[in-house]
Structures are given as C-alpha cells and as structure tokens.
C-alpha cells in the first residue's frame, strides 16, 4: 500500500438490519447518516417479494443518496436497477450476473469471502470492493483482521472489514481496511446510532493516525 493511500482516512460502510418497514426505520437511518462520514449503505429488505423489496430499497436509498452516500442492495442486480440504487453487494448471489448487469455504471462488491482463493477470484472478476466478515457470519475477529491485513498488503481493490463490535474498529483500520462496516454495532447500540458512530469515528481516527506514524518511522 502506498503512502498516498495511507493518507486517505478510512470511511464507514453501514449495513442495515433486516428492514420490513422503511418508514419506521428512516429516523434511525437519518441519525446514523448524519453522525459522521459514511461512504456506503447496504439496505437489507426483510422480504423477497419484489415490489415490497423495491419500495423499501427505494425509500432508504433516497435518504442515503441525498447525503452523498452510495446505496447498495444485497445480491439482486435487478432490484438495484428498479430501486434506483447505486449498486449491489453480492454475498450469496451470482457475482458474474451482477457484474454483467451493473458494470460499469454501478457498484458491485462481494463478500464475505471465506478463503484467499475466493477473494482473489472476486478481485480478478472486477468488483469495486471486497468485504471480509459480514452481518450474518459468525467468526473470530482475528480471522477478519488476518484477511484484511493480507489483502491490503498485496492488492489494490479496496477492502471492507466488518466489525461486529465497536472495539473492532481500530484494529481493522490498523490492519489496512479502507472501509469499516458496522451493522448491529451501530443500529443496535442502546445509546443510539449517533453515539455509537461518534465512538467508532474516534477509534477510527486514532488508529489511522497511529498507522501513519508507524509507517513513517
């Protein structure tokens, strides 16, 4: 990773809970998006019914896009197109189909990726980012850290490290993540999303400064 890349402060990638009612979730989302610098939002409708999923995705995508945040949906490139989203995060769907349907105009990301071979294959396929860990994946934090550090040292495709808890934010930044993903750690915090993200932002910025200082020695 170059010194120029190191100077770029990592950003947050928010992952919603499963959403069945966009209207009731909208205030919590607005609180989170207004709390700090957010790059991407992954909207996860809690339905497979196409029109209902489209309504949820379109409503929440608009809130994100109005704030300059890229809005993504999981696995379904056609939902991304119908809902006016900025792209698709492929966790269990057909990555090749998503790339064909959405590139080059929209974003396609992939993850979680269990093996190095899977990560390299996704990177070579032309994704815009890779995510290590994820909201539905139970794993030791050290596994995600190991994957992020390996990827960041070798490859240029940006990587996202998923943090199940706020205490994981700093280590992911030190490992080289360009983006830190937060889901339940943000939206499930009893203090509210803004308080959680303020704490996460402080950890992110502290770790980023420490990483730059260590690299300069």
- How far apart CA 28 and CA 192 sit, in angstroms, is 8
- Element containing residue 89 per DSSP (H, E): strand 87-90
For 29-68, the pLDDT digits (tens) are 999 999 999 999 999 999 989 999 999 999 999 999 999 9
Does this model's pTM top 0.85? My answer is yes
**What pLDDT, in 10s, does the model give residues 90-124?**
998 899 999 999 999 999 999 988 899 999 999 99
pLDDT in tens, 19-28: 999 999 999 9
Query: Using 50, 70 and 90 to split pLDDT, how confident is the model at 6?
Result: low
Contact 183, 14 (CB under 8 A): yes
- Structure letter (DSSP) for residue 104: T
Q: Average per-residue pLDDT in the chain?
A: 93
The secondary element (H helix, E strand) that includes residue 73 is: strand 70-74
> Per residue in 133-175, pLDDT tens?
999 887 787 899 999 999 999 999 999 999 999 999 999 999 9
Contacting residues for 213 by C-beta, under 8 A, at least 6 apart: none
What are the residue ranges spanned by the domains of the chain?
A: 3-161+176-216
| The pair of three-digit structure tokens given for residue 172, joined into one six-digit string | 């992911």
In whole angstroms, what is the distance from residue 216 CA to residue 112 CA?
32
Residue (of 176, 122, 183) closest to 144 by Cα position: 176
Residues 6+ apart with CB under 8 A from 159: 129, 130, 131, 132, 148, 151, 152, 176, 177, 178, 179
Query: Tokens at residue 206, please?
Result: 């502290």
Q: What percent of the chain is helix, strand and coil (3-state, nearest 5)?
A: 50, 20, 30
User: What's the Cα-to-Cα distance from 126 to each of 96, 157, 183, 194, rounded to whole Å?
Assistant: 9, 9, 25, 34
Give the pLDDT score at 5.
Answer: 54
What architecture (CATH level 2) is domain 3-161+176-216?
Alpha-Beta Barrel (3.20)
- Quote the crossing angle between the two packed helices 116-125 and 95-102, to the nearest 10°: 20
Query: CA-CA distance, 107 to 170, in Å (whole number)?
Result: 26
């Amino acid at each position: 990773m170059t010194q120029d890349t190191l100077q770029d402060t990592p950003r947050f990638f928010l992952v919603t809970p499963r959403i069945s009612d966009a209207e009731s979730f909208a205030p919590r989302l607005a609180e989170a998006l207004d709390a700090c610098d957010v790059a991407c939002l992954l909207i996860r409708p809690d339905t497979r019914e196409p029109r209902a999923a489209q309504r949820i995705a379109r409503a929440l995508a608009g809130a994100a896009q109005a704030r300059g945040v890229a809005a993504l949906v999981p696995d379904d490139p056609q939902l991304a197109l119908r809902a006016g989203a900025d792209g698709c995060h492929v966790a269990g769907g057909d990555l090749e189909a998503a790339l064909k349907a959405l590139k080059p105009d929209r974003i396609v990301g992939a993850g979680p990726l269990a093996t190095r071979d899977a990560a390299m294959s996704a990177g070579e396929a032309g994704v815009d980012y890779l995510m290590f860990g994820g909201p539905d994946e139970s794993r030791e934090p050290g596994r995600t850290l190991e994957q992020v550090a390996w990827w960041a040292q070798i490859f240029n495709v940006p990587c996202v490290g998923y943090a199940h808890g706020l205490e994981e934010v700093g280590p992911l930044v030190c490992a080289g993540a360009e983006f830190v993903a937060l889901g339940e750690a943000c939206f499930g915090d009893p203090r509210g999303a803004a308080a959680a993200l303020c704490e996460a932002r402080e950890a992110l910025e502290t770790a980023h400064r420490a990483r730059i200082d260590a690299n300069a020695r």
